[in-house]
């Protein structure tokens, strides 16, 4: 029989090409293409092979919600949807060094303390290294079963006998090695086949498996996205390594809501939960400085207040810089264009630096109004009202648009002692009345021009 033709696969994006190349044509990454063992020429669907008819059932029927085992770390349990589901597979993805092993060791110890059997298999670190970390975390007495291994055949044989385990951690999937596949650990085919094998074991032995996956710089889970659809839940652990905050974000969850987040702080002795992130993100806010505005944001179902900071520096010649940390730079350009075209506020002779304080990354368009407030405040060199929060999306004509869950944002603001909120004007039609918490006054804004005029009014000068 003729040898099946070779296939080459990009480790970054998963694209398949018939020949090797230094650079992947699909995603543009260099040195990511490697040969993959050809799929065995399967039998295909033979007409005569015996097949079993499927027993279709009604959609209506009684199904109990999946049983869950809370890990005992509230911020993690929230993102999981209430705890670990037996026989489920969770992918914990994040940059190397962000704290994935730390989080899982703490989770494992917490489960073990609750009397559950937990197996921790490290393919990256030797037993001594894991022990040292446990010592640092004050968990050296935790009753977990620890092994350093990468050979999937050994791991599978050991896990077959672990039917009473609640959680099995594989740290990391990129180090796993299946000897039947002719490529190195970390390659697409190894990662895919190892994950498949481990997930199959979890389903048959009914423990929850947590796979650690390192993410490449462009955000793809190295070796690659294929993992995301194989597992039941995908959690990203993210944060700026220069900051102590870490955010655990659920991006897929077959057993719970996505978009939930958990907030942690990396301390000397491991990850500490942050039950009230707003207070922490605002802790270092200085009152009377121009260019700062508090955004009443929402992460998943969770309201969160963060400070948006903006600095303008004169740049008389050349093209001005726009530097953004924690937000979308395309959106900043759009807001600058709207401010210039619709409100006559010209900032093209200034460098603009925008920063979300605390190292948080915001994706919500609802931050537009807070960003504009910070920009206008910087341009006018006038602080925004320190007792005010901002939220609202800005459209291309400069109109301020409604955003979801205004009431939870307002409640959070009131809880933290804010006195007023600047928010989109409600259009009478179809909007139900907004409940303003006691002690919070609402300032509704219909167009960005109103905000610019307000600042210009306070400085007594024209901003443009």
Q: Residue numbers of the site for Mg ion (CB under 5 A)? A: 101
How crowded is the C-beta side of 179, counted as CA atoms within 13 Å? 7
| DSSP-based three-state secondary structure for 412 | helix
269 binds, among ligand TYD, Mg ion, none (CB under 5 to 8 A by kind): ligand TYD
Q: How far is the CB of 120 from Mg ion (least distance, A)?
A: 11
For the record, the structure tokens of 95 come out as 């940059």
Residue 135 CB, shortest distance to ligand TYD, in Å, is 9
**Residue nearer to ligand TYD on the CB measure, 268 or 438:** 268
Please identify, using beta-carbon distances, which residue of 101 and 205 lies nearer to Mg ion: 101
Cβ closer to ligand TYD: 261 or 345? 261
Binding-residue total with ligand TYD (CB under 6 A): 15
Beta-sheet pairing, 261-267 with 270-273:
antiparallel
**Cα 234 to Cα 232: distance, rounded to the nearest angstrom:** 7
Residue 334, Cβ neighbours under 10 Å: how many? 16
Q: Mark residues 104-133: x for contact with ligand TYD by CB under 6 A, - for none.
A: -----------------------------x
- Of 95, 92, 155, 93, nearest in space to 121 by CA: 155
Segment interacting with ligand TYD, rule: CB under 6 A, options 36-44, 91-99, 278-286, 320-328: 91-99
Q: Which is nearer to Mg ion, 122 or 278 (by Cβ)?
A: 122
- Beta strand spans in 13-124 (E): 16-17, 33-36, 89-94, 117-122
Considering only residues 18, 22, 97, 460, which one is a binding residue for ligand TYD as defined by CB under 6 A?
Answer: 97
Taking the C-alpha atoms of residue 309 and residue 326, their distance in angstroms, rounded to an integer, is 11
Strands 441-445 and 420-424: parallel
Q: How far is the CB of 435 from Mg ion (least distance, A)?
A: 46
In 175-244, DSSP assigns E strands to: 208-214, 233-238
DSSP state of 48: T
Q: Which long-range contacts (CB under 8 A, 24 or more apart) does 16-22 make?
A: none
Among candidate residues 336, 338, 403, 333, the one with its CA nearest the CA of residue 366: 403
Taking the mean position of all CA atoms in its chain, how far away is CA 338? 29
CB nearer to Mg ion: give 101 or 377: 101
Shortest separation between residue 93's beta carbon and Mg ion, angstroms: 12
Among the residue ranges 47-55, 98-106, 153-161, 452-460, the one whose residues contact ligand TYD (CB under 6 A): 98-106
Q: Which residue, 246 or 425, has its beta carbon nearer to ligand TYD?
A: 246
Which residue, 117 or 136, is less far from ligand TYD as judged by CB?
136
Q: How far apart are CA 288 and CA 247, in angstroms?
A: 29
In the complex, the smallest distance separating the C-beta of residue 235 from ligand TYD, rounded to whole angstroms, is 12
Closest to Mg ion by CB, 239 or 277: 239
- Of ligand TYD, Mg ion, none, which one sits near residue 441, judging by CB under 5 to 8 A according to partner kind? none
Binding site partner of 440, from ligand TYD, Mg ion, none, Cβ cut-off 5-8 A by kind = none
Strand arrangement of the beta sheet that strand 261-267 belongs to: 145-148, 117-122, 165-171, 208-214, 89-94, 233-238, 245-253, 261-267, 270-273
Asked if residue 171 lies in contact with residue 123, where contact means CB atoms within 8 angstroms, the answer is: yes
CB 371 within 8 A of CB 339: no
Piece of 35-43, 82-90, 95-103, 222-230 that binds ligand TYD (CB under 6 A) = 95-103
Does the protein bind ligand TYD through residue 140 (CB under 6 A)? no
CB 132 within 8 A of CB 82: no
Q: In the complex with Mg ion, which residue's Cβ is closer, 101 or 382?
A: 101
Quote the least distance from Cβ 145 to ligand TYD, whole Å: 19
Binding mask 257-276 for ligand TYD (x = CB under 6 A): ---------x-xxx------
Can residue 239 be called a binding residue for ligand TYD (CB under 6 A)?
no
Q: Which residues lie near ligand TYD (CB under 6 A)?
A: 94, 96-102, 133, 136-137, 266, 268-270
């Amino acid at each position: 029989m003729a040898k099946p033709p070779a296939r080459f696969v990009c480790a970054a994006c998963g694209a398949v090409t018939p020949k090797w190349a230094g650079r992947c044509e699909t995603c543009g990454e260099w040195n990511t293409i490697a040969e993959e063992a050809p799929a065995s020429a399967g039998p295909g669907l033979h007409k005569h092979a015996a097949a079993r008819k499927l027993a279709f059932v009604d959609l209506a029927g009684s199904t109990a919600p999946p049983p869950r085992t809370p890990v005992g770390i509230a911020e993690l349990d929230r993102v999981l949807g209430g705890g670990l589901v037996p026989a489920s597979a969770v992918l914990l993805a994040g940059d190397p060094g962000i704290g994935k092993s730390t989080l899982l060791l703490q989770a494992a110890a917490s489960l073990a303390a609750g009397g559950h059997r937990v197996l921790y298999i490290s393919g990256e670190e030797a037993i001594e290294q894991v022990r040292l970390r446990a010592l640092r975390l004050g968990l050296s007495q935790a009753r977990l079963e620890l092994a350093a291994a990468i050979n999937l055949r050994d791991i599978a044989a050991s896990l077959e006998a672990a039917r009473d385990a609640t959680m099995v951690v594989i740290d990391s999937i990129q180090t796993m090695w299946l000897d039947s596949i002719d490529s190195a650990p970390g390659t697409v085919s190894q990662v895919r086949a190892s994950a498949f094998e481990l997930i199959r074991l979890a389903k048959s032995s009914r423990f929850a498996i947590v796979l650690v996956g390192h993410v490449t710089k462009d955000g793809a889970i190295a070796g690659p996205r294929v993992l995301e659809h194989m597992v039941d839940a995908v959690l990203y652990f993210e944060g700026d390594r220069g900051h102590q905050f870490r955010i655990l974000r659920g991006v897929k969850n077959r057993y719970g809501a996505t978009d939930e987040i958990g907030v942690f702080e990396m301390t000397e002795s491991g990850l500490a939960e942050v039950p009230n992130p707003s207070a922490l993100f605002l802790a270092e806010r200085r009152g009377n400085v121009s260019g700062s505005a508090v955004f009443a944001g929402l992460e998943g179902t969770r309201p969160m207040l963060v400070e948006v900071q903006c600095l303008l520096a004169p740049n008389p010649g050349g093209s001005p810089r726009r530097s953004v940390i924690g937000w979308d730079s395309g959106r900043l350009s759009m807001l600058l264009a709207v401010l210039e075209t619709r409100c006559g506020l010209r900032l093209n002779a200034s460098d603009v630096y925008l920063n979300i304080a605390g190292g948080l990354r915001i994706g919500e368009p609802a931050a537009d109004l807070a960003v504009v407030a910070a920009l206008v405040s910087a341009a006018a060199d006038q602080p925004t009202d320190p007792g005010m929060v901002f939220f609202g999306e800005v459209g291309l004509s400069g109109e301020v648009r409604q955003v979801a869950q205004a009431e939870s944002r307002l409640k959070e603001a009131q809880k933290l002692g804010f006195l007023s909120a600047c928010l989109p004007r409600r259009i009478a039609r179809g909007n139900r009345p907004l409940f303003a918490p006691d002690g919070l006054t609402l300032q509704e804004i219909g167009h960005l021009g109103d905000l610019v005029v307000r600042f210009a009014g306070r400085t007594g000068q024209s901003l443009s």
